[in-house]
Chain A
Amino acid sequence: MIHVENLTKRYGRRSAVQGLSFTVKSGEILGFLGPNGAGKSTTMNIITGYLSSSEGTVTVNGHDILENPKDAKRQIGYMPEIPPLYPEMTVQEYLRFAAALKGIPRPARDAELRRTMGMVRIEDVSNRLIKNLSKGYRQRVGFAQALLADPPILILDEPTIGLDPQQINEFRTLLKSMGGNHTVILSSHILSEVSAVCSRVLIFNRGRIVASDTPENLVRGVSDHNSMLLRVRGRESEVRKAIESCPGIRNVTILETVETGTVELSAEGRKDADIREDLFKALSKASLPILVMKPADSTLEEAFLSITGDDKEQK
């Protein structure tokens, strides 16, 4: 669907992105994850034909973005980081203009406007001037613009910035319902966002892709240990003694107390040992009630920090 090969963008001596290669399959929801200035927006701007690359090629549905830009651009709905809105137009005027730009024939425009405004729920502001809209509404008008003409590929640069939690939820549901028959690339520096909707994640750092995998695998990659978080009622010394008597336990760390009269701790077991039952048995034998026990899985956040952190150390 989208094929990017050896993409490089230089500004003078500085490279914004360097030697990127990846393929996005049809129906995939791909996440670009990375700190600000890592090259996510630049990559999106090159794929959509807003910027030209210094080196490398981008092919969209078989159309090269430089050699055949019009056909390539017709495949893509793009919502940039700052929605490209004209403040002095009403929502309807703006969308009608965008529909004309995308070459939707005049008789079909009204139906198309109704469809996209319904999808992002902005019918109630359709006659208001864009400059008077709240940030969340502007963001949605920008999204409606990307949906016009129902392009098979959607490229969304930080699409949920400025939305409230309920709107973010609605947006995710909408996006998931579109996955499958639409190919989506979305960028974010918020990790939960990416892991919630994306089937695959590319992690960007300093203009390079430093990791590419499913969110689950990325997390698994960094969690080579196997540890649990516990809250146990009792004295610290007793608890520690009881846990250290378990066979599979490698390490116990006492954490800051949250509830008075209890001990907060993390118990780390050997790799591929299930320590949950052992912990339960040992603590109940010492009649120390377990109030909370949950796996201390490393999150995508940790995966992200460890991957981008490694990269910094190398430099």
Chain B
Amino acid sequence: MWAIFRRELRAYFTTSLGYIVMGFFLLMAGIFFTVNNLLGASPDFKSVLGSLLFIFLFIVPLITMRLISEDTRSKTDQLLITSPVGVTGIVLGKYLAALALFAATLAVTGAYPVIMSMYAMEPLAFLEILGGYLGFFLLGAAFISVGLFVSSTTENPVSAAVATFATLLLLWIVDWIQPSLPKDSLSGLVFVVSLGLGAALIVHLTLRSVPVTVILCAVILAAAGTGYALQASLYKGIVNRIVGWFSLVKRFQDFGLGVLSLGPIVYYMSFSAIFVFFTVRMIEKRRWS
């Protein structure tokens, strides 16, 4: 795993990718810091981190696009998969390399609060800033795990980059669309049923067995229908709640306030773990089909 980690990390800097990622991010960070904190004479570093988060959305696809797709395309995955490392080790090595590049880039911006503290009239809210960094890192780790997964679904780094960007943008606007989603129980029922049927479709495509699919659909419809008949209020606002699970950005706000609660930390870490796991399954699936 560490061999792959070291190779991937070095590959960022033997190609131009690592320099582009670091250079672009640090340039934007420098501009925000100068305009907001230095010229604006403001001690508020949280808002700089907030703006950088949006920039980071454009950078994630660059970091993750070739992680797995390149190996699939150039067949170097034959070397990795036939070595005694194991698919989980391969995926983790690559994921950690991307995280390390991100962490190193983020660490450089740590110089700004230090500069501010040297000239500040009153002590900075260091804990708030540290919390903000922790949140930024965890959110970035979740973004990168999505990009890693997308990279495992294609052989083409460019399609991986575009698809990653689209997915992240969708996750980004979840907060905006959430309030306008219908809240009545009937739409809740329709939403749950279509999710269930979607899952049944995936099962059908994997197993290709008509009886299993028919039985599964019947069970889903019956369960959803019975639930609705017995207690329709169960479905009230369920659309909101389910969509809310994917709201990555909202949970970031807490960190900026200097509130360190376990919930969002666990949320981000499990979100990343699930996507790393999906990536492993994706590679395994390619070996089987």
Contacts and interface: CB of A to CB of B under 8 A. Distances in A.
A86 B11 contact: yes
Contact of B287 (A52, A102, A103): A52
Contact of A84 (B7, B14, B75): B75
A196 interface: no
B3 A70 contact: no
Interface in B1-42: 2-4, 6-7, 10-11, 14-15
Interface stretch (B51-59, B77-85, B113-121, B217-225): B77-85
Contact of A51 (B7, B14, B287): B287
B254 to A, nearest CB: 41
- In terms of DSSP, what is the predominant structure of the interface of chain B? helix
5 contacts: A48-B82, A52-B287, A69-B84, A84-B78, A101-B79
B76 interface: yes
Interface string A70-84: 110110101010101
Nearest to A49: B82
A69 B83 CA distance: 9
Interface in B81-95: 81-86
B75 A73 contact: no
A52 B286 CA distance: 9
A145 B3 contact: no
A74 B85 CA distance: 10
B288 interface: yes
Interface string B156-191: 000000000000000000000000000000000000
Interface residues of B, number: 25
A88 B79 contact: no
B289 interface: yes
Given A84-B78, A88-B11, 18 more contacts: A48-B82, A49-B81, A71-B84, A78-B78, A80-B75, A84-B74, A84-B75, A85-B76, A89-B7, A97-B6, A100-B3, A100-B6, A101-B3, A101-B4, A101-B80, A101-B85, A102-B83, A102-B84
A68 to B, nearest CB: 11
Contacts of B77: 50, 84
A130 to B, nearest CB: 11
Contacts of B2: 100
Interface of A: 11, 45, 48-52, 69-71, 73-74, 76, 78, 80, 82, 84-89, 93, 97-98, 100-103, 145
Nearest to B285: A52
* In the A-B complex, the 8 residue pairs with the closest CB atoms: A100-B3, A84-B79, A101-B83, A84-B76, A48-B82, A70-B84, A73-B84, A80-B78
Nearest to B75: A82
Contact of A145 (B10, B75, B79): B79
Interface in B62-84: 74-84
- Of A50, A82, A89, chain B has the most CB atoms within 10 Å of the CB of A50
B86 A69 contact: yes
Contacts of A49: 81-82
A70 B11 contact: no
Contacts of B4: 101
Contacts of B288: 52
A50 B84 contact: no
B71 to A, nearest CB: 9
A65 to B, nearest CB: 10
A80 B85 CA distance: 18
Nearest to A142: B79
A74 B86 CA distance: 12
Contacts of B6: 97, 100
A76 B82 contact: yes
A145 B75 CA distance: 15
A50 B81 contact: yes
Contacts of A52: 287-288
A54 to B, nearest CB: 8
A76 B79 CA distance: 12
A2 to B, nearest CB: 14
Contacts of A76: 82
A40 to B, nearest CB: 15
- Of B2, B15, B75, B86, chain A has the most CB atoms within 10 Å of the CB of B75
Given A86-B76, A89-B14, A73 B287 contact: no
A303 B77 CA distance: 37
Contacts of A97: 3, 6-7
A101 B4 CA distance: 8
